[in-house]
């Protein structure tokens, strides 16, 4: 089939590449000229495990190409995916200017039947707006489909190739048949393509992300409470998670959720509720609790090192909002670093993939180390913000050799309390006993 993907970020590039992998001919369109040039030169512009191999294979096979010309993409594709940003607007709603702007251009440029598939996360009713924007100028038939994306950064290729489910919101039989044909290779093991109306599909995405954000936040509150009453959240988590109604996943407490999706999606659903005179009380709390959770370690840092951190050096392990990505959008690390800098600390950070992105955001206000141990050189404390695999089993002798003071603030509960005690660290984590 002939496909165009408009917007080649985390979602669009993975979508385009994986659709090419099943034999489709895909043209990816992006307005970012330098990004398109890099991709044309064979470079994957984001870090996403396993993407490079299929990216290269499909370019070489002539099934995957890149352009800045929307017209070229539309001339090529029978199915047009929109994988455009829907960032948070000032009032918390999803900003639809990219999606609706491109929709209007599509109306001006198409001259034969196309299926326009919205993969961006958008509020209920957006497919109607997209339809109206295209219809203003379109002189041919077209259909609009809502096809929210559930991939996770860090597992995006696997999630796309083997999805647990695919949600398709559409009212046209013709479009539904095309979508089922396109997705057939991805659901051979029997996972469902769930067909529904556009509005329900749009809401499914927000409901899923908000539920997951709520689950994380609930556990963070249990962890905070554990600290007050002397319980251990890791034990509580295992005790709870073995109940199959609850499940083991998404119960790990930490320094809050971040990323390009949960924060903005929870806020957008909350705002959609307000617009419909519905007060989402749970989501209001989730937003508030998550905001304070991001800096929950800061008072512990102050109580151990003092509030004036001039002449103190703090090492940070992990900058990305989660492991296996270079994405730093809404990353808790940035909030902690801001507080540390305000208190006068000098900060040295290490992250396996996200340092370039932080460098372009923070410049030289912090320093970046070449290795996890180099970041510790002369440090008065280590703060762990992201649970990258390499941080799980460090050489503690090396850690001690490099640090001035043996103090760890662990925002991801990576280490065993008993081991930390016997290694002689002061160790603070989330929802567990402090080792002072
Ligand atoms: P992104 O910011 O990584 O990528 C968006 C891309 O669109 C950029 O490359 C940008 O240059 C391009 N773009 C902007 N305006 C354009 C235009 N007019 N024409 C062509 N290209 C244009 O965004 P993302 O993370 O891929 O997210 C895209 C959508 O998918 C969002 O709605 C997001 O909420 C949703 N989503 C994201 C994820 C995720 O894990 N990142 C998962 C599921 C859903």
- Residue 3 is predicted with a pLDDT of 98
Nearest alpha-carbon partner for 252 in 370, 429, 34: 429
CA 85/CA 236 separation, integer angstroms: 38
How does pLDDT run across 344-371, given as a tens digit for each residue?
Answer: 999 999 999 999 999 999 999 999 999 9
Annotated binding-site ranges: 30, 35, 86, 121, 150-153, 205, 250-254, 258, 264, 322, 329
Query: Is 123's C-beta closer than 6 angstroms to any atom of ligand 1?
Result: no
Q: What does the pLDDT read at residue 251?
A: 97
Tell me if 12 CB under 6 Å of ligand 1: yes
Of 29, 84, 212, 330, the residue with max ligand 1 atoms within 8 A of its CB, to mutate for a pocket test, comes to 84
Is 59 within 8 Å of 66 (Cβ atoms)?
Answer: no
Which atom of ligand 1 lies closest to the CA of 102?
18
**Phi/psi of residue 295, nearest 5 degrees:** -115, 25
Protein residue with its CA nearest to atom 7 in ligand 1 = 7
CB of 11 sitting under 6 A from ligand 1: yes
Q: ipTM of the assembly? A: 0.99
C-alpha 180 chain-centroid distance: 27
The token pair at 95 is 């900003």
Supply the CATH classification number for the domain 298-428: 3.40.50.720
Which atom of ligand 1 is nearest to 35's Cα?
9
Cβ(154) to ligand 1 under 6 A?
A: no
Whether ligand 1 lies within 6 angstroms of the CB of 98 is answered as: yes
Binding residues for NAD(+) are: 30, 35, 86, 121, 153, 264, 329
Catalytic residue chosen out of the listed positions 18, 226, 261, 385: 261
| Catalytic annotation present for 140 | no
CB 291 within 8 A of CB 262: no
pLDDT in tens, 12-56: 999 999 999 999 999 999 999 999 999 999 999 999 999 999 999
DSSP code string of 289-346: HHHHHTTTTHHHHHHHH-S--TT-EEEEE--SSSTT----TT-HHHHHHHHHHHTT-E
Structure tokens at 195: 């067909």
Q: Where are the domains of the chain?
A: 2-196, 205-293, 298-428
Instruction: Establish how many alpha carbons lie within 13 A of residue 394's alpha carbon, considering only the half-sphere containing its beta carbon.
Output: 24
Euclidean distance between CA atoms 176 and 94, whole angstroms: 26
Concatenate the DSSP letters of all residues of 363-386 into one string. Answer: GGGSEE-SSTTGGGTT-SEEEE-S
- Which DSSP helix (H) or strand (E) runs through 173? helix 173-183
d(CA 292, CA 272): 23
pLDDT of 216: 98
User: What is the Å distance from ligand 1's center to 295 Cα?
Assistant: 28
Give the model's pLDDT for residue 18: 98
Fold of 2-196: Rossmann fold (3.40.50)
Q: Is 7 in the pocket of ligand 1 (CB under 6 A)?
A: yes
> Coil, helix or strand for 115?
strand
Tokens read off for 194:
């769930």
- Which one of 83, 165, 266 would you pick to mutate in the ligand 1 pocket, going by the greatest count of ligand atoms within 8 A of its CB? 83
| Per-residue model confidence (pLDDT) at position 84 | 98
pLDDT value, residue 91: 94
Say how many CA atoms lie within 13 Å of 292 toward its Cβ: 9
How far is the CA of 174 from the CAs of 103, 144, 178, 304, in angstroms? 20, 11, 6, 65
Torsion over CA: 323, 328, 329, 332 (sign): positive
Query: What is the reported pLDDT for 406?
Result: 98
Ligand 1: residue whose CA is nearest its atom 20: 30
Fold match, 2-196 / 298-428: yes
Low-confidence ranges of the chain (pLDDT < 70): none
Q: How many angstroms does the Cα of residue 86 sit away from the middle of ligand 1? A: 7
Query: Looking at residue 187, what DSSP letter applies?
Result: G
Residue with CA closest to ligand 1 atom 30: 120
Residue 102 Cβ contacting ligand 1 at under 6 Å: yes
Copy the structure tokens of residue 106: 């599509």
CATH number of 205-293: 1.10.1040.10
Q: pLDDT, tens digit, for every residue of 249-269?
A: 999 999 999 999 999 999 999
Given a contact cutoff of 8 angstroms between Cβ atoms, the answer to whether 74 and 4 are in contact is yes
């Amino acid at each position: 089939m002939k496909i165009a993907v408009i917007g080649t970020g985390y979602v669009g590039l993975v979508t385009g590449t994986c659709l090419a992998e099943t034999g489709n001919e895909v043209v990816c369109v992006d307005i970012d000229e330098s990004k398109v040039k890099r991709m044309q030169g064979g470079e994957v512009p984001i870090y996403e495990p396993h993407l490079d191999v299929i990216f290269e294979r499909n370019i070489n096979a002539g099934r995957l190409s890149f352009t800045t010309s929307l017209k070229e993409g539309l001339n090529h594709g029978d199915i047009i995916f929109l994988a455009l940003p829907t960032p948070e607007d000032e009032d918390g709603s999803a900003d639809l200017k990219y999606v609706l702007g491109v929709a209007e251009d599509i109306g001006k440029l198409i001259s034969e039947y196309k299926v326009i598939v919205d993969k961006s996360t958008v509020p209920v009713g957006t497919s109607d707006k997209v339809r109206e924007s295209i219809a203003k100028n379109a002189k041919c038939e077209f259909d609009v489909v809502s096809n929210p994306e559930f991939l996770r950064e860090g597992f995006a290729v696997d999630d796309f190739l083997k999805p647990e489910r695919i949600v398709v919101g559409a009212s046209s039989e013709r479009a539904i048949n095309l979508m089922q044909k396109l997705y057939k290779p991805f659901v051979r093991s029997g996972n469902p393509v769930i067909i529904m109306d556009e509005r329900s599909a749009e809401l499914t995405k927000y409901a899923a992300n908000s539920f997951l954000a709520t689950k994380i936040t609930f556990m963070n509150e249990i962890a905070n409470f554990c600290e007050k009453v002397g319980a251990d959240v890791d034990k509580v988590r295992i005790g709870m998670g073995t109940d199959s109604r609850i499940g083991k996943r998404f119960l790990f407490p930490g320094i809050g959720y971040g990323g390009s999706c949960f924060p903005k999606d929870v806020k957008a659903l909350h705002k959609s509720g307000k617009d419909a005179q519905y007060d989402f009380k749970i989501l209001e709390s989730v937003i508030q609790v998550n905001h304070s959770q991001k800096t929950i370690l800061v008072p512990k840092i102050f109580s151990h090192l003092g509030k004036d951190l001039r002449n103190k050096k703090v090492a940070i392990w992990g900058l990305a909002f989660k492991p296996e990505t270079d994405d730093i959008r809404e990353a808790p690390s940035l909030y902690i670093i801001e507080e540390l800098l305000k208190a006068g600390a000098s900060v040295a950070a290490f992250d396996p993939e996200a340092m370039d992105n932080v460098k372009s955001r923070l410049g030289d206000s912090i320093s970046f180390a070449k290795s996890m141990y180099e970041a510790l050189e002369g440090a008065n404390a280590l703060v762990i913000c992201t649970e990258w695999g390499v941080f799980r089993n460090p050489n503690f002798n090396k850690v001690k050799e490099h640090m001035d003071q043996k103090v760890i603030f662990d925002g991801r509960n990576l280490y065993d309390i008993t081991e930390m005690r016997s290694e002689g660290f002061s160790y603070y984590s989330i929802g567990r006993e402090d080792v002072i």
